[in-house]
Amino acid sequence: MMESLANWIGEYFDLWGYPNVESSRVLYSEDDKDFVIAGESRNLAGKGYRSITYAACAISLLELYKGLGFMVIDSPLVTYKKPDVPE
């Protein structure tokens, strides 16, 4: 189940342009009881990136288990800012 969830999260990262991550690089760590993204624990990222990963996880759960209902994603996502990239 966690592998399927990690795959869905990776697909959302691809769609949303999450930096330095390919969908195949999202894994679930039994030891940490959390997701590992591009080889790093999710909790090592800044709060903006953590909010994106939380939103991807919540939406992925809805995709996997259609009977869960609905969710509201609100202000935590405003902490995410795209990095400045020179043209």
- The answer, yes or no, to whether residue 24 has pLDDT greater than 70, is no
Q: What is the DSSP letter of 84?
A: P
Contact 28, 35 (CB under 8 A): yes
User: What pLDDT, in 10s, does the model give residues 41-77?
Assistant: 877 777 777 888 888 888 888 888 877 777 777 666 6
Q: What mean pLDDT, rounded, does the chain reach?
A: 78
Q: Which of 6-10, 22-26, 47-51, 53-57 has the lowest mean pLDDT?
A: 22-26
Comparing 55 with 86, which gets the higher pLDDT?
A: 55
Q: Could you give the CA distance from residue 7 to residue 76 in angstroms, rounded to a whole number?
A: 23
Sorted by where each begins, the domain ranges of the chain are: 2-79
